[in-house]
Chain A
Amino acid sequence: MEILNSLWESICSIFTSSGLATLSWENYVMMCISFILLYLAIKKQYEPLLLLPIAFGMLLVNVFPGIMANPTNEMLTEAQVLARNLDPASYTTTVLDGTTYYNVGQNGGLFYYLYQGVHLGIFPPLIFLGIGAMTDFGPLIANPKSFLLGAAAQVGIFITFIGATLLGFAANEAGSIAIIGGADGPTAIFVTSKLAPNLLGPIAVAAYSYMALVPIIQPPIMKLLTTKKERSIVMQQLRPVSKIEKILFPIIVVVIIALLLPDAAPLVGMLMLGNLFKESGVVSRISNTAQNELMNIVTIFLGVTVGATATGQVFLSVSTLGIILLGLIAFCMGTACGVLFGKIMCAFTHGKVNPLIGSAGVSAVPMAARISQKVGQEENPANFLLMHAMGPNVAGVIGSAVAAGVLISQIPH
């Protein structure tokens, strides 16, 4: 009988410490959301490189919240220390009410340590290093006016900031929500980790979701704001860009931006370093590592840990709905501002610029440029806008980093 009681107690003990007893309904809802995201990543292939680790991080943290637990400091009596086979001499002591307690540190969960790369703003610049090593700024150098479209598409960020403030979000939270309009995941994470780390989960999920939904969100806005004639405009071929111009570009950009806007220096600096690796042609091994192994490793860590911030208690709130809605507005505004500025450039150049390339001013490289190409070819199958759209597209990456620098420098945090 005693054995049965002991067995029952063991079973009860295992059950009470298991997830079945400790998890709340929010965790189960989040598990369902993570299953949906996994489905979208695997079956629909929506940004799978990021959505898959994000969704799995979300799943893991809601099944086992301890994986994201902070390190703790336990105060134990001498008897408790000895009971754990620990050496009391190894720990500092605190005396409370005449009793001596030993400060025994407890390690945090695995994701807590990986998350420090996000928390300290390390991973997003490393991702930018890889992006820089993969990016060809040739179209932008050949047609520097593309910078204007990259700048125009950032207007949505600042308009959304007003909207978020009106909805009652604090300035730091509004800034983090608004940067979703830049359609640049690492930038959104970088800004949020600085301004409002508590919103990291919802903002990262919203940013990457909208980037994945570019082919669905952008075309209706592009078609709504342009005429058939404008969409059919064939642009002149870009001039070839020499190697020396490509080598000088990252050096000049980083000097100018880091001098004027130091807060954007980590992102722009790493982006340009990666690009210099590529264009210099003398460090192909490093360039390959930056755009492949390093990028992949950081992507895994960034994805799972950002996903792990989306616990049920944080994610399932009214403010998350507000973030997702405002993020969508920011993204649409960015697209619309880019296209409208493209129309202005079209008018000024007497029809030499196809306004469709303006939508690529939101980052989302290279998806946004591909959409400009696709929508343009629907009107004129012989029209090839891809290279023209790559100019605003990479300008958008620089523009969103500059906008991030403005937000970080102007908003108290």
Chain B
Amino acid sequence: MEMALNLLLAGIVIVFFVLVLLIFIIKIYSTIVQAAQNGSQKRKDAKKAAEKKPELIKAEPQVSTAQPTATDNEAIPGEVIAAIAAAVDAMYDKPFKIKSVRRSRANSGSSWRNAGLFENTKPF
């Protein structure tokens, strides 16, 4: 019985100690990683802002301006342009400008490329 009580106390203390230690370590490294990532992000933003300052003034998701740039064959429907712009917006957290939207030629490229494309889009 004495051993059981010892194990009860030792078990609870050790399990809590190890997991509380992990809490602290995770908090510390998360803080460091976040701080490092925020710092590098800020530096990148500042650098890009300095490089592209004149352009940024009008750099907004310009869906309407993108539509006429569908230069290739037939015109791409507005809804498709809007969906592409939304997808790009979701991927990039920063202002962007779509310069052109072109249809890809289905049969272009090698057979391996087409096989890969087929493999990845098969479930859909």
Contacts and interface: CB of A to CB of B under 8 A. Distances in A.
Size band of the interface chain A makes with B: 35 or more
A256 B1 contact: no
B33 A147 contact: no
Contact of A147 (B4, B5, B7, B19): B19
Contacts of A147: 19-20, 22-23
Contacts of A242: 33-34, 37
Interface residues of B, number: 27
B18 A161 contact: no
B26 A249 contact: yes
- Highest count of chain B CB atoms <10 Å: which of A151, A154, A155, A161: A151
Given A174-B4, A252-B25, A256-B21, A244 B16 contact: no
11 contacts: A141-B26, A145-B23, A147-B19, A151-B19, A165-B4, A242-B33, A252-B26, A260-B18, A398-B19, A406-B10, A406-B14
A398 to B, nearest CB: 7
Nearest to A261: B18
A235 interface: no
Given A159-B8, A162-B5, A171-B3, A402 B23 contact: no
B15 interface: yes
Contacts of A402: 14-15, 18-19
Q: Which 6 A-B pairs have the closest CB atoms?
A: A158-B11, A147-B19, A165-B4, A151-B19, A144-B26, A144-B23
Contact of B20 (A140, A148, A155, A244): A148
A49 interface: no
Contacts of A150: 19
A51 to B, nearest CB: 29
A250 to B, nearest CB: 12
Interface of B: 1, 3-8, 10-12, 14-16, 18-23, 25-27, 29-30, 33-34, 37
A258 B29 CA distance: 19
Interface of A: 140-141, 144-145, 147-148, 150-151, 154-155, 157-159, 161-162, 165-166, 171, 174-175, 241-242, 244-245, 248-249, 252-253, 256-257, 260-261, 395, 398-399, 402-403, 406-407, 410-411
A249 B15 CA distance: 18
A403 B17 CA distance: 12
Contact of B25 (A175, A244, A256, A395): A256
A241 B27 CA distance: 12
B8 A161 contact: yes
Contacts of B7: 158, 161, 175, 406-407, 410-411
Given A158-B8, A399-B19, A166 B1 contact: yes
A410 B3 CA distance: 9
A161 B4 contact: yes
A399 B3 contact: no
B113 to A, nearest CB: 20
Contacts of B26: 140-141, 144, 249, 252
B8 A162 contact: yes
Contacts of B30: 141, 144, 241, 245
A407 B16 CA distance: 15
